[in-house]
Amino acid sequence: MPTIPNNEQFVGISSSQDLVEKGSAQTNSARTIYTYSDLKLGSQSAVANTGTIISFSETEIYNTSAAAGTGNITNDLTNAQLGIVQKLYHQEGSAPTVPAGWILVGSGTYSTTALNIIYAEWCGGTRVEYWIAQPA
Segments of the chain with pLDDT less than 70:
1-44
Over the stretch 98-122, which tens digit does the pLDDT of each residue have?
999 999 999 999 999 999 999 999 9
Maximum Cα interatomic distance, the chain, rounded to a whole number of Å: 67
Q: How far is Cα 108 from Cα 130, in angstroms, rounded to an integer?
A: 10
Q: Are strands 116-124 and 85-90 parallel, antiparallel or unpaired?
A: antiparallel
pLDDT attached to residue 100: 96
Angle (CA) 34 40 43, round 5°: 125
pLDDT attached to residue 22: 46
pTM given for the model: 0.70
